[in-house]
């Protein structure tokens, strides 16, 4: 019987001497081979909807570094795109959406059309066929609050102010939008699993700006509902919740939302996270992406500190946020070698 993949075993509660390793945004602009493929697509959204190209860049970091997991190359904003909201990406400026400024505009959103995302499921087919047998395959979606923050503002914002203000002014309309995104996310993740991913991660990149009550209402509870919905269809598929900025909310999250693993961001002290969560709860993280850019002794110290903090418990080595474009490839090679040497 084949040995279970390292990432899957950790998400089932196994503490491994050498933790599985993957990096958020590992398929990206820091790789020259990624930039070559990206240059052949007219727009970023076209890139995401081009199965052969998306599959190729999903596999590139696996070929180069043999990480323990590949993560589907796509974007969290394909969900509002499949709901009929106009979505585009401007080079150097990030995503642009038709803003939702009133409840009436929110009410005009269409139903989530899962068939619109058929190129994503085709990408999964292609990756699955080419992935090494010991590498796990991760699918993902954005959490409702994070996705809604882009949908309402029409772009990324420093403090997600437009979405937060919308929620205060129009709580019923905001709740309805969150509900729509919860249901769409359940369908989307379930279809990714049907297509062949083995793990799914929910990214709530901007929930950390929310006050405590709003955090529970607009971040933790919607994430819990998504996990519950996915588990109803795929009980054994592990789910990772990455709620960036969760900070003091982490202990309650691990007790209430039902994920199989929890990502922690760069700002959180690993020793505190370990002390505040049950020993059998898998945690993922949390190297500073800038330490990976810096490299040399600074990188080694941070790696060793994280390995020591999580020693003896289920841990997935990762960054505390996405890899940065300016990251030297040799520093990623150094990271992989040092993690696999063990603490």
Q: Among residues 25, 164, 191, 217, which one is catalytic?
A: 25
- The Cα–Cα gap between 184 and 190 comes to 10
Which of 72, 38, 35 is CA-nearest to residue 53?
A: 38
CA angle (326, 120, 59) in 5-degree steps: 45
Look at residue 156 and tell me whether its pLDDT is greater than 80. Answer: yes
Residue 62 · residue 132 · CB < 8 Å: yes
Res 91: pLDDT? 75
pLDDT band at 27 (very low <50, low <70, confident <90, very high): very high
Average pLDDT, integer, range 3-24: 96
Q: pLDDT by residue (tens digit) across 99-129?
A: 999 999 999 999 999 999 999 999 999 999 9
Residue tagged active-site, from 12, 16, 29, 96: 29
pLDDT at position 31: 98
DSSP structure class, residue 4: P
- 34 is an active site residue: no
Query: Which residues have CB under 8 Å from 282's CB, separation 6+?
Result: 10, 11, 13, 260, 261, 262, 313, 314, 315, 316
Q: Residue 92 above 80 pLDDT?
A: no
What whole-number percentage of the chain has pLDDT above 70?
Answer: 99
Catalytically annotated residue among 30, 34, 68, 75: 75
CA atoms of 265 and 248, how far apart (whole Å): 12
Q: What are the two backbone dihedrals, phi and then psi, of residue 316, each rounded to the nearest 5 degrees?
A: -115, 120
Q: Which residues contact 246 (CB under 8 A, 6 or more apart)?
A: 207, 208, 253, 264, 265, 268
**Known catalytic residue at 38:** yes
In the chain, where the domains are located = 6-341
* Distance (Å, whole) CA 317 – CA 63: 19
May I ask the CATH architecture of the domain 6-341? Alpha-Beta Barrel (3.20)
* Residues in CB range of 236: below 8 A, 6 or more apart: none
SS3 317: strand
Is 168 one of the annotated active-site residues of the chain?
no
Q: Is 298 helix (H, G, I), strand (E, B) or coil?
A: helix
Catalytic-residue membership of 29: yes
Residue 294 to residue 322: CA distance in whole angstroms? 15
- Tell me the average pLDDT across 54-83: 98
Specify the pairing of strand 69-71 against strand 239-243.
unpaired
> Three-state SS for 55?
helix
Q: Tokens standing for 104?
A: 């009436």
- What are phi and psi for residue 197, nearest 5 degrees? -70, 155
39: helix, strand or coil: coil
Distance of alpha carbon 28 from alpha carbon 292, whole angstroms: 15
75 has catalytic annotation: yes
């Amino acid at each position: 019987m084949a040995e279970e993949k390292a990432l899957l075993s950790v998400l089932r509660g196994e503490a491994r001497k050498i933790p599985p390793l993957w990096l958020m945004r590992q398929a990206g602009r820091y790789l020259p081979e990624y930039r070559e493929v990206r240059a052949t697509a007219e727009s970023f959204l076209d890139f995401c909807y081009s199965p052969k190209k998306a599959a190729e860049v999903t596999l590139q970091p696996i070929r180069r570094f043999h990480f323990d997991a590949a993560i589907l190359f796509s974007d969290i904003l394909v969900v509002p795109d499949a709901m009929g909201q106009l979505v585009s990406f401007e080079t150097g400026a990030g995503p642009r959406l038709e803003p939702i400024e009133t409840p009436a505009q929110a009410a005009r959103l269409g139903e989530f059309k899962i068939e619109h995302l058929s190129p994503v499921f085709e990408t999964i087919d292609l990756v699955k066929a080419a992935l090494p047998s010991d590498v796990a395959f991760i699918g993902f979606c954005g959490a409702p609050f994070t996705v809604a923050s882009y949908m309402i503002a029409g772009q990324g914002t420093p403090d997600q102010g437009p979405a937060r203000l919308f929620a205060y002014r129009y709580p019923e309309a905001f709740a309805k939008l969150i509900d729509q995104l919860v249901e769409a996310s359940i369908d989307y993740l379930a279809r990714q699993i049907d297509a062949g991913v083995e793990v799914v991660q929910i990214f709530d990149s901007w929930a950390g700006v929310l006050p405590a009550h709003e955090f529970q209402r607009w971040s933790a509870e919607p994430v819990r509902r998504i996990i519950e919905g996915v588990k109803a269809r795929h009980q054994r598929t592990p789910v990772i919740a990455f709620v960036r900025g969760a900070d003091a909310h982490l202990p309650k999250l691990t007790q209430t939302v039902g994920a199989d693993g929890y990502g922690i961001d760069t700002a959180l002290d690993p020793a505190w996270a370990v002390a505040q969560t049950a020993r059998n709860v898998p945690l993922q993280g949390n190297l500073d992406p800038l330490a990976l850019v810096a490299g040399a002794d600074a990188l080694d110290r941070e790696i060793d500190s994280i390995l020591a903090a999580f020693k003896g418990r289920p841990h997935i080595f990762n960054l505390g946020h996405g890899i940065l474009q300016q990251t030297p490839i040799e520093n990623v090679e150094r990271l992989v070698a040092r993690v696999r040497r063990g603490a």
